[in-house]
Every structure is written in structure tokens, then in C-alpha cells.
Amino acid sequence: MQRFRFPEDTLAFRNETEWVYGRDLVTGRQVHRRREPRPSYTLRCFVMARVVRQFHRHAVFDPALPSPGIDELRRRVRRVLATSPRSDAGVGGAVRIPGWENLRAFSEAEGAMIREEAGGAWQSYVQRSHLWLLFPFGRASREREARRIARDAMGGRGPVVHVFTFPALTINHALVVAEAAEEAGRIRMGCYDPNEPGALVPVDFDVARGGFEMAATPYFVGGPVRAYEVMRFPWR
């Protein structure tokens, strides 16, 4: 398995939000209003993170070969999406995608087909890992989790992370960690964001405070979050 790379190993299209978010100038709290017109591809951050993981682990792109045509491409995409995001392809087991250099280029050209095959929004809600929302992580457990995520990212494995606040759920989102480093008492991570695929979003772990922090984005005011890795262990 080659190292996870940003942006090459990520999807070009975005998971659109159903709401337009902002910050209340008086209270500083996050506010929102419904987006009009309602976007067509929403609530699929976990779906997209899974797709990115499956392609990274179970597909190989070959730009030297001609594209086989949409019907054969669709069959190959379905083979990739039938794999487990928690496992790696065995020797010779990766699905070959001819005609493109990487997933970013492929999804720029064939995004509509990938969206059709990836799965519905309900898959972002029916996740075995969501049970972990209910279990508080102690400070030592949070630090172990941060270091494990960073170690996987530095090893090029592209760990998928669930970031959320609870019980308010001002954010409930999936990211893929593309890079990580430790400096000045912080574990710094740069994450592929299905909502904003053009740049990495920073998520840090403050070792002294013992907590995760996510940078402000168009859909989140920024600040402390809870986080843990998913799609690695059988129970997550």
C-alpha cells in the first residue's frame, strides 16, 4: 500500500451542507439557516471518507492504459466499493483503474458516476462507530488516541477520524488525516475534508490541555472537539 497523499488520493467533488453557517456577532456562538436552493449531494461525509479509504487501499490507477469506457469503469468502481475500508488489498488484489493518474483526477472526470455508486446519506448515520459518542474518553485515553492517529498518518495510512461536539453536535463530521507532526506541545494534523476538498483543515491535539481543537471552517466556528479514529478496528 502506497502512502496516502493529498490531494491525489482524495475526491474532487464536495459534500455540500444543508445549512449556511455563521457566527453570532454578539454571543460568538454558531448560527445557521437552511441553504436555498437545497443542494443535491449532502450528508455524505462518512460515505466520502469511506470511498477515499477504499480507493487508497484497494485500487491502483494506471494512466498509461486507455480508459475502458463507462460501463467497465462502473463495474470496477463497484468492485472497489465492495471492499472493506478496514483491510488492505492482498498481493495482486487491487482493482486497476486505467486512464487516470489518481483518484482526484478520476473523480473530476467521473464524479457523477462515483456519487451514484458511493451510497446514500443514511450510511453517514448508520455507523457502528457512532456508539462511541456515548462513551467519554479520559485524558490519557484522548492522548493515546491522538498519538495513534498521528502515527497512522505519518505512516501514510490515511486514518479516518470522527470529529464532533456532544451533546450539542455543532459538528458531527468525518475527516481523513493526510499529515501529522508533533511540535511545541501540540500534535498537529492536516485533514482532507469532504466539505472543503481544496485544502487541508487543521486539527490539533493540545497535550497540556488534553483535548482536540479544530480550525474554523465555513461550517464550524472552530474550537474544542472530540475525536477518535474509525474504520480501523472491527468495533469502530
Q: What is the dihedral of CA 183, 226, 129, 203, to 10 degrees?
A: -40
Considering the domain architecture, whether residues 169 and 119 belong to the same structural domain is answered as no
> If 0-12 CB within 10 Å is exposed, 13-18 middle and 19+ buried, where does residue 159 land?
buried
In a domain, 214, yes or no: yes
| Total number of domains constituting the chain | 2
In a domain, 208, yes or no: yes
Considering the domain architecture, whether residues 23 and 119 belong to the same structural domain is answered as yes
pLDDT at residue 13, rounded to an integer: 98
Residue 69 clears pLDDT 70, i.e. is over it: yes
Helix (H) or strand (E) holding 212: strand 211-214
**Residue at a domain's end among 105, 124, 143:** 124
Q: Which of 44-58, 165-179, 199-213 has the lowest mean pLDDT?
A: 165-179
Question: What is the pLDDT averaged over residues 52-67?
Answer: 96
**Residue at a domain's end among 124, 140, 172:** 124
CA atoms within 13 A on the CB side of 217: 23
Q: Which of 11-20, 28-37, 153-162 has the lowest mean pLDDT?
A: 28-37
For the chain, percent of residues with pLDDT exceeding 90: 73
Say which amino acid occupies 218.
P
pLDDT at residue 223, rounded to an integer: 95
Considering the domain architecture, whether residues 104 and 134 belong to the same structural domain is answered as no
pTM of the entire structure?
Answer: 0.92
Considering the domain architecture, whether residues 27 and 116 belong to the same structural domain is answered as yes
CA–CA separation, 230 vs 45, rounded Å? 13
**Residue at a domain's end among 124, 141, 175:** 124
In a domain, 8, yes or no: no
CA–CA separation, 19 vs 33, rounded Å? 5
First to last CA, the chain: 22
Distance of CA 204 to the CA centre of its chain: 16
For the chain, percent of residues with pLDDT exceeding 70: 93
Distance of CA 90 to the CA centre of its chain: 23
Considering the domain architecture, whether residues 134 and 96 belong to the same structural domain is answered as no
In a domain, 202, yes or no: yes
**Distances 189 to 159, 160, 182, 215, 217 between C-alpha atoms, Å:** 11, 12, 9, 11, 15
Report yes or no: 175 and 205 within 8 Å, Cβ to Cβ: no
| Cell numbers for 29 | 456562538
Q: What is the extent of the structural domain holding 157? A: 128-230
Considering the domain architecture, whether residues 107 and 135 belong to the same structural domain is answered as no
Considering the domain architecture, whether residues 111 and 150 belong to the same structural domain is answered as no
CA–CA separation, 179 vs 187, rounded Å? 11
In a domain, 236, yes or no: no
Considering the domain architecture, whether residues 115 and 162 belong to the same structural domain is answered as no
